[in-house]
């Protein structure tokens, strides 16, 4: 992997990042002569949704593919962040909300009232959470949960700290100050990252888990696009972001020690291994998942999120149902995988497809 100093310069991408990825994907597909997705049972009309920025790249790919096959459909997704998306959906805006976390005891009543009945969580794609970094001269990095916690709580402050050096023998670590980057908005990515720290870092993380960043210090940025842009332009930076954003910006990512004592590469298969053991906690087509961040499965990448579409069981439009049928199909999952997401384990994917069909 190239070091930050050898990477080509880019114009920082913010709100246009998802569109750029979408257009790039379309251009690559055209150059390979790929056909539009087949066997989509089209519906017409319009659908609006909002929420998780972590799932935005996957949703935009699904929208492009669906609308190519179904020209009478118009689908829009606003990458507002999980918290904002859930609030907007509860207020009556949009056909579904994207969220990287299940509804909480505080948010469930408002969404249930909007739906006038049961709420459904549909896991749609697995998003490995990458620890993207930009340290001049450093292209690879091994980190443990305890060291990650100390970095993000501000007790390890330079890259040549002996705790980091002990994990990375032979790597020339500079005395550059560590500059952490976290989300400023309510974020499912933050919620899952802090759940990982709370479950695995022990006494080194005493801030619990929350969708709002709980620790002092660091640079706060709204949305995944701004987080990754801040890392890209800042020597010494490290931040957490859904892995497709790090891949698109060609940022190196740390290997994180899992509960089996390994440092697996951040791959689709490694992330899927982590989610394969997740437990379904919902019922009646509500597929909320509980992830065990202390899963000791060999080869499992330990920091993942499962991003949901949240919608009303009894009031789903024909177009929203058709679109989610495609998204949960093997073709839809492959489209997400092509962008750096991990596909749903097949057993879970079939449950999601069945839940969509029952809407």
Q: What does the pLDDT look like over 243-261, one tens digit per residue?
A: 888 988 999 999 999 999 9
Task: Identify the pLDDT of residue 25.
Answer: 39
Task: Identify the pLDDT of residue 12.
Answer: 38
Could you tell me what percent of the chain has a pLDDT over 90?
Answer: 67
In the predicted model, what is the mean pLDDT of the chain?
A: 88
Burial pattern 14-44, b for ≥16 Cβ within 10 A else e, equals: eeebbeebbeebeeebeeeeeeebeebebbe
Task: Kindly report the CATH number that applies to the domain delimited by 129-269.
Answer: 3.40.190.10
Q: What does the pLDDT look like over 303-344, one tens digit per residue?
A: 998 889 999 998 899 999 999 999 999 999 999 988 888 888
Alpha-carbon separation of residue 204 from 151, 154, 201, 207 (angstroms): 10, 11, 6, 9
Q: Answer for the pair 294, 286: CB distance below 8 angstroms, yes or no.
A: no
Local confidence band at 188 (pLDDT 50, 70, 90 cut-offs): confident
Q: Which of 263, 257, 287, 262 is nearest to 275 (CA)?
A: 287
Q: What does the pLDDT look like over 98-121, one tens digit per residue?
A: 998 899 899 999 999 999 999 999
Give the DSSP H/E element, type plus range, for residue 305.
strand 304-312
Phi, psi of 150 (to 5 degrees): -65, -35
Q: What does the pLDDT look like over 126-174, one tens digit per residue?
A: 888 999 999 999 999 999 999 999 999 999 999 999 999 999 999 999 9
Rounded CA separation 11/233 (Å):
10
Instruction: Tell the residue number behind the tokens 């995944």, with chain if given.
Output: 224
Domain map of the chain by residue range? 129-269
Rounded CA separation 160/49 (Å):
45
């Amino acid at each position: 992997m190239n070091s930050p100093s050898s990477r080509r310069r880019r114009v920082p991408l913010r709100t246009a990042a998802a569109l750029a990825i979408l257009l790039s994907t379309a251009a690559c597909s055209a150059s390979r002569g790929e056909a539009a997705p087949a066997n989509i049972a089209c519906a017409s009309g319009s659908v609006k949704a909002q929420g998780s920025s972590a799932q935005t790249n996957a949703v935009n790919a699904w929208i492009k593919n669906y609308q190519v096959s179904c020209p009478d459909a118009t689908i829009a997704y606003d990458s507002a962040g999980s918290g904002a998306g859930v609030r907007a959906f509860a207020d009556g805006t949009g056909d579904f909300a994207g969220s990287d976390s299940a509804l909480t005891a505080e948010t469930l009543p408002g969404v249930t009232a909007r739906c006038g009945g049961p709420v459904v969580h549909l896991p749609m794609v697995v998003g490995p959470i990458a620890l993207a970094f930009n340290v001049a001269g450093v292209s690879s990095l091994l980190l443990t949960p305890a060291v990650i916690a100390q970095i993000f709580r501000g007790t390890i402050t330079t890259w040549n700290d002996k705790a980091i050096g002990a994990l990375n023998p032979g790597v020339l670590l500079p005395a550059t100050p560590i500059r952490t980057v976290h989300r400023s908005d309510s974020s499912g990515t933050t919620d899952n990252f802090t759940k990982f720290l709370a479950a695995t870092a022990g006494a080194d993380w005493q801030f619990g888990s929350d969708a709002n960043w709980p620790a002092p210090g660091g640079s706060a940025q709204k949305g995944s696009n701004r987080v990754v842009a801040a890392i890209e332009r800042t020597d010494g930076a490290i931040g957490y972001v859904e892995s497709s954003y790090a891949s698109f910006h060609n940022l190196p990512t740390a290997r994180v020690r899992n509960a089996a004592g390994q440092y697996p590469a951040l791959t689709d298969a490694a992330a899927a291994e982590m989610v394969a053991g997740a437990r379904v906690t919902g019922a009646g087509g509500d597929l909320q998942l509980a992830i065990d961040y202390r899963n000791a499965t060999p080869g499992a990448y330990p920091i993942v999120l499962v991003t949901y579409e949240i919608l009303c069981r009894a009031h789903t439009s024909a177009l929203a149902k058709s679109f989610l049928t495609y998204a949960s199909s093997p073709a839809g999952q492959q489209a997400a995988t092509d962008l750096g997401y991990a596909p749903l384990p097949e057993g879970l994917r079939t449950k999601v497809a069945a839940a969509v069909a029952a809407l």
